[in-house]
Each structure stands twice: as C-alpha cells, then as structure tokens.
C-alpha cells in the first residue's frame, strides 16, 4: 500500500519557514525528490491537497507545484510559505536552461481576491536585484488549485490591465497534464516553455508539438480489456465511465447535481466516444476532476438529439438520455488513487504510479469489475 500525503505530513511535522537542513520543509522537499518519480504519483498528492483544508495542505500544494516545475526541467528555488518584510515573497522562482524566468504564485482557490500588482512587484524586485535580466525574459505565473468558474476575477483583472504578456494563469490539473505528457511522450522542456509563455509572432513551436503528439501511437489496452467504444453483444449490460467538466458557471459537482441528481438526465456531444453504443440498461459513473467518481446511474433511454434546458451548453451537448437508479456521493467520492488503481483491471500490466489521467480524459467503456470498484458496489456474479 502506498503512503498517503497525510501520512507523510504526520511524519514530517508542521511545515513552516524555520531554517535548517533538518527543518520540516526541507525534509518534505527531499522526500518528494526521492520518492515521487512519476507524474501519476504527483497527481495523487496534489489531489489529496485539494480535498483537504488547512495550512499543511496548502503549503504542501505550494511545494508540489514547485516540484512539478523541477519535473518539467526548470531549476527551482522554493519560496517562503509566508511573506516577511524586506524579502521578495514569491512562492517559487523557476529558471529555464534557456535563460527564461518564471515567478510562481500558488493559489488553492479563487475565492479570495488576488491583486496582480503583488506578483508584478515580485518580478520587478527581482529585476532590480539582477536575479532576472528583464521582463523580456520573465513571466509571472498563477497556478490555481481549484478554479472557480463563477469568479474568474484574476483572469478578468489580467485582461483589463493588459497584462497578458506578463502574467499567465494555469490550473494545477492542466499543469499536471503537461508533466504527464512530458513523462509519457516525446516532449522536451522547450516544448513546455512554448506552451507556458506568451506566444511570439510564429506559432510553429506549438504546431510542431501538436504534430508529434498526434504521431504518437496510443498505448494498447491489455487483451482482457474491452475497447473504450467497442459495441456490446446484444443484451449485454455495458458499464461506462465519463468525465464531467466544469463550465463558466458551474463546477463539475454542480453539473452532476443539476443533471444527474435533479433532472435525472445526462448529455453527450457529437463526438463523445461511445455515444452511438450507449443503450438502456447500461450503467454509467461520473468522474469529477480532482475529486473522483461522485455518482452513478442506470441508463434509461437511448441518447436523442433533443437539447435540454438544464444543459448549459445544449448546442455542444445535444444528445440527451434519461437516467434512473441514480446515486450521488459528492461529499464522499471514490478517489482514483494508487490503491484504487491497483484494483482496476484497466491497470493490469501497468504501473499504478505512472501517469493515469488517460483513464478519465474521455468517456470509455469499462468492465463490470472496474465499475464496481469505482462505485463501491458488489459484483452480481
């Protein structure tokens, strides 16, 4: 059984800015360097931070984001957890081998208003101190743990203040996806930098990155696993796992509450894998990013192209099907951590600690056994 972040923090002690090689923060950072060798393990710890409140987890998240920066090929200087007068209070300073600098600020949520002037001042101070050569070689980056679609205050401020060439925002989930792509595919540090920094006059670097990703052959499923969209044998009950995305106004959990819990429906897009194979009698479970599987239900009708008023983007998701026997457990999700993955047939022959977001990036067919694991159900047979 893998050790959880909570267990590590209990052993490490209180994370604070106390100096010394034996300080809790230094021991924690050494632990990360020695033990988190794959992007999937980093994702497990980040998601545990986002599921828990308190200084220990918010400070651990800050260190984990910096560790991702190191994972991506930057030379990382860890910042302080709390600012003090007379010192630049950045959360992290990342220097690329190319000479480009990124000054990082980590925010667990967007609930509290963020003043962009603070991060701008950090970069300006570092330029004055000649740590960074100039703004031409620098960027301020906000890494957000739980983006709030209803707020977006920070994004609006950056646009209104015309700071898009100096300040950028990325969710920690997207940042982890970059780390996973670098871990699994032929992606170089320079490719990552091309995605993060504001685009120059040529888009060739990004196009070349996309072309290499398309050229990569997907990993084959183990022989005993069905294809994600393989048609079912007549009369066979099929089990599905689908990721639920947030939109501009609702979190993934709110979408599930509205559609599955209240309207007892769900909606697919034109290109959703498996849309043409879904049928009454099938079972489907719903994954909320960063949380886990938070609901499941029985499919009660074929998808019909009848946009529904409860679906916030009916033009994008016009194929609606009814549900029955729905069960929601938003406050008690089934976390897809290393222990859970070790029980899934989909990971047979795979390393549970390796990148695993592929499982929840698109709607896919899963086995009855995996459905039962992901929904805490007992198998019928």
Q: What is the pLDDT of residue 197?
A: 84
Contacts of 132 (CB under 8 A, 6+ apart): 101, 103, 123, 126, 138
Q: What is the pLDDT of residue 380?
A: 59
DSSP for 281-339, written as a single string: T-EEEEEETTTEEEEEEEE-S--EE---TTSS-TTTS-EEEEEEEEEE-TTS-B---HH
| Residues in the chain, pLDDT under 70 | 1, 149-151, 199-200, 212-234, 247-248, 352, 379-381
Q: What is the pLDDT of residue 66?
A: 96
d(CA 126, CA 128): 5
Cβ(135)–Cβ(166) under 8 Å?
yes
Domains of the chain: 5-215 (3.40.1350.10), 239-375 (3.10.590.10)
Q: What is the pLDDT of residue 232?
A: 60
What 344-349 contacts at long range (C-beta under 8 Å, 24+ apart), as own/partner pairs, is: 344/369, 344/370, 344/373, 344/374, 345/222, 345/224, 345/225, 345/369, 345/370, 346/221, 346/222, 346/225, 346/370, 348/222, 348/224, 348/225, 349/222
Q: What is the pLDDT of residue 230?
A: 61
* 71 exposure class (CB count in 10 Å sphere: 0-12, 13-18, 19+): buried
β-strand pairing of 283-288 with 292-299 = antiparallel
Q: What is the pLDDT of residue 221?
A: 47
d(CA 324, CA 379): 19
Q: What is the pLDDT of residue 140?
A: 95
Q: Find, among 160, 126, 125, 157, the residue nearest to 142 by Cα.
A: 157
8-24 pLDDT per residue, tens: 999 999 999 999 999 99
CB atoms within 10 A of CB 267: 23
pTM, two decimals, is 0.76
Q: What is the pLDDT of residue 141?
A: 95
d(CA 250, CA 285): 19
Q: Which residues sit opposite 321 in a β-bridge? A: 266
């Amino acid at each position: 059984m893998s050790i959880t972040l909570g267990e590590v923090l209990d052993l490490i002690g209180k994370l604070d800015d106390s100096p010394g090689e034996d300080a809790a923060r230094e021991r924690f950072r050494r632990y990360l360097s020695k033990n988190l060798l794959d992007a999937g393990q980093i994702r497990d710890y980040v998601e545990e931070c986002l599921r828990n409140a308190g200084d220990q987890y918010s400070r651990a998240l800050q260190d984990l984001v910096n560790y991702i920066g190191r994972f991506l090929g930057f030379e990382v200087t860890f910042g302080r957890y709390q600012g003090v007068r007379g010192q630049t209070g950045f959360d992290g300073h990342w220097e690329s081998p190319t000479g480009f600098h990124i000054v990082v600020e980590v925010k667990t949520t967007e609930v509290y208003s963020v003043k962009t002037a603070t991060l701008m001042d950090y970069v300006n101070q570092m330029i004055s101190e000649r740590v960074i050569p100039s703004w031409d070689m620098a960027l301020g980056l906000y890494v957000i743990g739980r983006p709030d679609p209803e707020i977006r205050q920070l994004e609006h401020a950056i646009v209104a203040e015309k700071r898009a060439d100096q300040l950028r925002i990325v969710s920690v989930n997207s940042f982890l996806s970059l780390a996973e792509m670098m871990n699994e595919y032929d992606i170089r540090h320079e490719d990552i930098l091309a995605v993060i920094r504001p685009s120059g006059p040529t888009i060739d670097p990004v196009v070349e990155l996309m072309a290499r990703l398309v050229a990569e052959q997907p990993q084959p499923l183990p022989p005993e696993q069905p294809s994600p969209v393989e048609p079912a044998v007549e009369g066979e009950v099929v089990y599905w796992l689908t990721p639920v995305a947030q939109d501009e106004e609702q979190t993934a959990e709110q979408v599930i509450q509205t559609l599955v819990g209240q309207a007892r429906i769900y909606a697919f897009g034109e290109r959703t894998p498996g849309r043409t194979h879904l049928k009454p009698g099938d079972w489907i479970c719903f994954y909320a990013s960063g949380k886990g599987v938070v609901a499941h239900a029985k499919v009660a009708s074929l998808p019909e192209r009848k946009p529904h008023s409860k679906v916030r983007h009916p033009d994008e998701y016009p194929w609606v099907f009814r549900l029955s026997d729905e069960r929601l457990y938003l406050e008690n999700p089934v976390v897809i951590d290393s222990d859970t993955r070790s029980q899934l047939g989909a990971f047979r022959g795979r390393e549970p600690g390796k990148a695993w977001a592929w499982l929840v990036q698109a709607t896919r067919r899963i086995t009855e056994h995996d459905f039962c694991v992901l929904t805490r159900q007992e198998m019928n047979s």
